[in-house]
Structure 1
Amino acid sequence: MDRAQLLGEEKIGKLLLKFSIPAIVGMIVNALYNIVDRIFIGNFVDSLGLAGVTIAFPIMIIIMAFGMLVGIGGTSLISIRLGEGKKEEAELILGNAMVLLVIFSASISILGLVFLDPLLKLFGASPQVLPYSREYLSIILFGAVFQTIGFGMNNFIRAEGNPRRAMSTMLIGAILNTILDPIFIIVFNMGIKGAALATIISQAVSAAWVLSYFFRNKSSLEVKKENWKLNLSTVKGILAIGSAPFAMQVAASGITTLLNHSLKTYGGDLAISAYGAINSFSTILLMPIFGINQGSQPIIGFNYGAKKYDRVKKALMLAIMAATSFTIIGFIVTRLFPAQLVALFNSKDKELISIGANGMKIFFTMLPIIGFQIVSSNYFQATGKPKQSMLLSLSRQVLMLIPAILILPRFFGLNGVWMAGPTADFFSFLLTSTFIILELKRLQTMHDESQV
C-alpha cells in the first residue's frame, strides 16, 4: 500500500498510532535533556543550582528556535521537491540548510558568550543565582552547534521517510546524557559544569549520528560541496516556511523570561527553582500532545485535500480524545502526588517542596482542557489555515498569558503567578471551542454536499 492509499484508506485509529508513537517518543526524549539535568542539579548541587538552570532555559529555547527555523523550513521544502521528483533541488536545500544551521549556531555562541552576564540578568538571574547560570550556560553555548545540527537535521531524516532512524538519533543522545550526568556531577564532583558537559557531549554524539546518516550514503539525498554555497531564493524559502514555529519558540522564551521576573519579585529564587520543577513536568505532559499533533497532521491534511471530510472529522476527534486522555492522567497524578513530584528535583529542601507543591496544584488546574486546545489549533494548520492556527496558539501562549502574568500577581502575590497559566488556558479554550464548533459544522456541510 503506497503512502497516498495508506493515508486515504487505512483505519484512522491505526494510522494515528503508526504516525504518532515515533513522534511522541522523539518529543519526550528531546525534552529529557534539560529535565535530567535539573533532577541531578537539584539533588546533588542545590536549589540555587536548579534556579540557575531555569534562568538559562529561555536562551536554550532560542537555540532550539533556530534549529526549528531551518529544520522545519528545510524539511517542508525537501518533502515537496522529493514529491515533485526534483532530487537535485532537494539536495540543494539540504546543503543550504546545513550551512545555515552552522552560521546561526556559531552566531548564537559568539553573541551569547560575549554578552553572557547581561543576558542572564535580563532573564531574571539574581546575584546569588548568576554564578550558577553562568557556569552552566557558558558550556551550553559552546555546544550550540551540536544542538542545532542534531535537532535541525534530524527533521531531514524524517522528511525522506525514515522516522525510526530520526527517533533513534534522539534516543541515543538522551540515554547518553542520563548516563553521563551522574558520572560528571557525582563521581567527578563537577557540579553544574558536569551537567552542562554531559548535555553537550550527548548532543555532539546525536549530531555525529545524524551527519553519518547523510555522509555515509545511508540517505537517498547526497551531500554535495557545491550545494554549500548559499542560494538566496532557497534560503528565503527555508526561512519563510520555518518562521512560524521560530516565532512561537521565541515568544515562549520571552514568556519564560517574564515569568522568571515575576517569580523572583513575588517569591524569590526558591520560587524560580520550584518553577523549574513544575515546568519540567509541564514539558513531559505536553510532549505526547505535540507528538499526536505531528502524527495527525499528515492524516488530516491528506484527507482534507482528498475531500474525505468524514475521515478528517474522525482523525480530529480521535486526536483530541488521545490528547485529553494524557492530560487527564497528568492532572490526576499532579493532584495526588505534587510534593513527591517536586521532591524528585530536591528531596532535602522542605521550603522548596512546599512552594513547588502549592504551585503545581494551581498551575495544572486547567490541564484536562489543554489537549483539546493544542490539537484543535493544529487542525487549522493541517488544513491550510495558518492564520487561525497562529491566532489560537498565540491566544494561549502570548495574548492571554502576558496580561495574566502582569495583572494577577498584583492581587494574589505568588499564587497569582501560578494562576496566570490556567487563566490563559481557560480563555483560550473558550476561543478555540468557538472556532472548532463552527469548523465541524462546515465539515459536515461539505461532507453532505460531497455525497450528493
Structure 2
Amino acid sequence: MTQNTTRPASVATLFTEYVATNIIGQMGMSAYILVDTFFISIAGGSTGMTALNLVLPFYDLIFAFGDMFAVGSATRFTIGRARGEEDADRYFTNAILWSILCGLPFMLFGTLFAPQLLRLLGADAAVSAMGVPYTRIFMLFAPLFMINRCISAFTRNDGAPRTAMVAVFLSGVFNIVFDYIFMFPMKLGIAGAALATGIAPIVSFLICGTHLFSKKCSIRMKNWRPSWHRIVQSAQLGTAAFIGDIASAITMLVFNFLILSLTGNVGVAAFGVVCNIALVATAVFNGIAQGAQPLFSDFYGKQERKPLQETLRLAMGTSLAFALLFILVFNLFPAQIVSIFNTEQNAAMAALGVVGMRLYFIGYLFAGINIVGTGYLSATEAALGSVIVSISRGVVAIILSALVMSWLFGMTGVWLAFTVAEALTATLLFLVLKKQKRSK
C-alpha cells in the first residue's frame, strides 16, 4: 500500500479488500495446479502422478527465489514509501534484474541435466520417461516465473490489489485451457502441461502492465543496473518467504524418499494427490499473509501501532476460520476428492489417499497461523525472528518429525508429521511474537 492509497477506510475494510483479492488470486493459481494434476492423472496414470510429485520440488525452488526477491523488495518499497524515501522505486527494477540473473542458471541446469536430476530423486525408467520432458520444458521458463512473482507483488503493493488478483486468476484460467489443448488435441502428453504452465505468466505480465504503465502507477522504472546492496536488503525481509517455499521442496523430497521405502510408487502417487490438494489450502493462507503484508508494512512504517495490531488479529482470526473449514471438508469427503485424481481406480492409492487426507489437513490449524505470523514478522522488519520461525517450520521441525513419526508409526506417522511440525513451530512463533512485543 503506497501513498496513493486513500486512508479514511477502516482497517477492516482495507483488510477485506487486500486479503480477499489476494485469496482469489492465489486460489486461481492453485486451481491450475490441481487441473494439471487431474489432466496428468488421465494422461499418465499413477506413473505420471509419481513423475509430477518428484518434479514439484523444482517448482518450489524456483518460486522460493522469486518470492524472496518479490516479497522482500516489495516490502522494502512499501516501508520506504511510508517513510518518504525518494529512491524506493529502485527496489522494483532491481528485483526484476535479479530475477532474470537468478532464473538463467535454473533454465540451463534443468534443460541440460533433467535425467540426472530425476534419477537422483529416485525415479525409475518409467517415471523418468515421463518426467524428463516435463522438467526440461518448465525449467526453460524459470526466469518468467520469478519475474511474474515480482510484477504481481509490486502491482499489489502499489495500491492495485484487484489488478494483481485478476492477473493471477486469468493466467490460471489460460493455463487450464491450454493444459487441455496441448495435452489432448495436440497430443503432447504431460509435456503439454509444462508448456501451458510456462507460457501462462505472459498473461499476468500483460494485465499487471495495465497498472504499471498507467498514470495511476507511482513506481518510476529507473536505474536498470543490478544493485547487490539492495538485493541483500530485500533478501533480509524475503528470506522467510524463501524458506517457506523451500519448506515445500524439502518436505516433498524427505517424504518422497520415506514413502518410496514404505509403500513404493503408489504411496508417492497418493502423497502427490494430497499435496496438490493441500496447495489450495496453502494458497488461501498465503493470500491472507500477502494481502495483509502491504497493510503491515504501511502501518509499521508510519508507526501506527493500533491499526497494525488490529490487522494482525484479523489475519490470525481469518486463518483459523479457514483452517477449521478445510479440516471439516477434507474429513467429510476424502474418498470423493481422492477419486477425482485416481483415474485408474487404484484401490491401494485410494486407501492411502483417504487416510492421508484426514490426517494431513489437521496440520493447517497451525500452518495458517505460522504462515501469517512469519509474514507479519517480515513485513515489520523483524527479519531474524521470521527466519528462525521459517527454518524451524521448513527444515528442522518437519525433517525431525517425518523421521521420528515414520519410524514410530510407519505411513500413519508420515501423514501426522506435518501436524507435529506445524504445532512445534506455532509454539516457537508465539514466543518470538511475545519477545517482539516486549521489545517495542
Q: TM-score w.r.t. structure 2 length?
A: 0.88
Give the distance between the partners of 2:68 and 2:429, measured in 1 at CA.
26
Task: Give the C-alpha shift of residue 182 in structure 1.
Answer: 1.8
Q: What is the CA–CA distance in structure 2 between the aligned matches of 1:69 and 1:4, rounded to whole Å?
A: 25
Match in the other structure for 1:179? 177
Pick which of 178-187 and 90-99 moved more: 90-99
1:331 aligned residue (327, 331, 348):
327
Contact kept, 8 Å, 1:26 with 1:171, in 2: the verdict is yes
Q: Which amino acid aligns with 1:387?
A: L
Determine which structure has more spread, i.e. the larger CA radius of gyration.
1
Is the CA contact (8 Å cut-off) linking 2:4 and 2:218 kept in structure 1?
A: no
Moved more, 369-378 or 303-312: 303-312
> CA contact under 8 A between 1:260 and 1:272: conserved in structure 2?
yes
2:37 aligned partner: 38
1:270 is matched with which residue? Answer: 266
| Matches for 1:14-29 after TM superposition, within 5 Å | 14-29=13-28
Rate the CA distance shift 1:252–1:85 in 2: closer, same or farther, 3 A.
same
CA separation of 1:400 and 1:260: change in aligned 2, threshold 3 A: same
* Map of 1:109 onto structure 2: 107
C-alpha separation between the residues in 2 aligned to 1:218 and 1:259? Answer: 47
Query: Which residue number in structure 2 is paired with residue 450 of structure 1?
Result: none
Distance in structure 1 (CA, Å) of the matches to 2:83 and 2:40: 49
Matches within 5 A, 1:196-235: 196-210=194-208, 214=212, 219-223=217-221, 227-235=223-231
Structure 1 residue 242 and structure 2 residue 238: aligned?
yes
Corresponding position of 2:338: 342
Q: Which residue of 1 aligns with 2:134?
A: 136
Q: Number of aligned pairs?
A: 438
Distance 2:220 2:11 in 1: 35
- Structure-1 residue corresponding to 2:410: 413
Q: Tell me, yes or no, if the aligned pair for 2:398 and 2:418 is still in contact at 8 Å.
A: yes
C-alpha deviation, 1:332, in angstroms: 0.7
SS at match of 1:365: helix
1:230 partner amino acid: P
Paired position in structure 2 for 1:151: 149
C-alpha distance 116-322 of structure 1, shift in aligned 2 (>3 A): same
Whether 1:430 aligns to 2:427 is: yes
Q: CA deviation at 1:97?
A: 2.9
Aligned residue identity for 2:100:
V
Match for residue 316 of structure 2?
Answer: 320
The 1:160–1:41 alpha-carbon spacing in structure 2 relative to 1, beyond 3 Å, is: same
Aligned equivalents of 1:15 and 1:220: distance in 2? Answer: 19
Report deviation, 1:4. Answer: 10
Deviation at 1:108, TM superposition (A): 0.8
Tell me: CA distance 1:5–1:200, structure 2 relative to 1, closer, same or farther (3 Å): closer
Structure 1 residues 322, 126: closer, same or farther in 2, change over 3 A? same
Within a 5 Å distance, the mapping from 1:55-134 to structure 2 comes to 55-83=54-82, 89-90=87-88, 92-134=90-132
Structure 2 counterpart of 1:186, which letter?
F
**Partner letter of residue 64 of structure 1?**
F
| Matches of 1:349 and 1:36, distance apart in 2 | 19
Where do residues 357-368 of structure 1 align in structure 2 (5 Å cutoff)? Answer: 357-368=354-365
Query: How much does 1:128 deviate?
Result: 2.8
Native 8 Å contact 1:147 1:207 kept in 2: no
| Structure-2 change in CA distance of 1:236 and 1:220 (3 Å) | same
How far residue 142 of structure 1 moved from its aligned partner, in angstroms, is: 1.5
| Deviation, structure 1 residue 133 | 1.4
1:228 match: secondary structure: coil
For the pair 1:48 / 2:47, whether they are aligned, the reply is yes
> Scaled by the length of structure 1, what TM-score is found?
0.86
Query: Residue 394 of structure 1: CA displacement?
Result: 2.9
- Tell me the alpha carbon deviations over residues 369-408 of structure 1, each in whole angstroms, 9 at most, x when there is no partner: 4333433444444444333333233333322111111222
SS state at 1:230 partner: coil
Q: CA 1:159–1:391 in structure 2 vs 1: closer, same or farther (change >3 Å)?
A: same
TM-aligned CA deviation for residue 5 of structure 1: 9.7
Q: Deviation string for 1:210-240 (max 9, x for gaps)?
A: 457656877444545xx33334434444444
Q: Is the 8 A contact 2:61 2:245 kept in 1?
A: yes
1:390 aligns with 2:383: no
Deviates more, 1:419-428 or 1:325-334: 419-428
Asked if the contact 1:405–1:416 (Cα under 8 Å) also holds between the matched residues in 2, the reply is yes
Residues 76/382 of structure 1: CA separation in 2 closer, same or farther (3 Å cut): closer
1:194 aligns with 2:192: yes
Q: 375-384 vs 147-156, which deviates more?
A: 375-384
Residue identity in the other structure for 1:353? A
Q: Is the contact between residue 177 and residue 202 of structure 1 (CA under 8 Å) also seen in structure 2? A: yes
The equivalent residue for 1:449 is none
How far did residue 51 of structure 1 move? 1.2
CA gap 1:145/1:370 in 2 versus in 1, 3 angstroms: closer
| Identity value in percent | 26
CA-CA distance at 1:106 after TM superposition: 1.6
Which amino acid letter does the alignment assign opposite residue 38 of structure 1? T
**Cα distance in 2 between the residues matched to 1:95 and 1:380:** 25
Could you say which residue in structure 2 is the equivalent of 1:293? 289
Code of the residue aligned with 1:192 in structure 2: it is: I
Letter in 2 for 1:352: M
Displacement after TM superposition at 1:140 (Å): 0.4
CA distance 1:78–1:265, shift in 2 (3 Å): same
How many angstroms apart in 2 are the aligned matches of 1:171 and 1:307? 34
The one of 261, 269, 273 equivalent to 2:257 is 261
Shift of 1:187: 2.3
Q: 1:149 to 1:208 in 2, by over 3 A?
A: farther
The alignment partner of 1:360 has SS state of helix
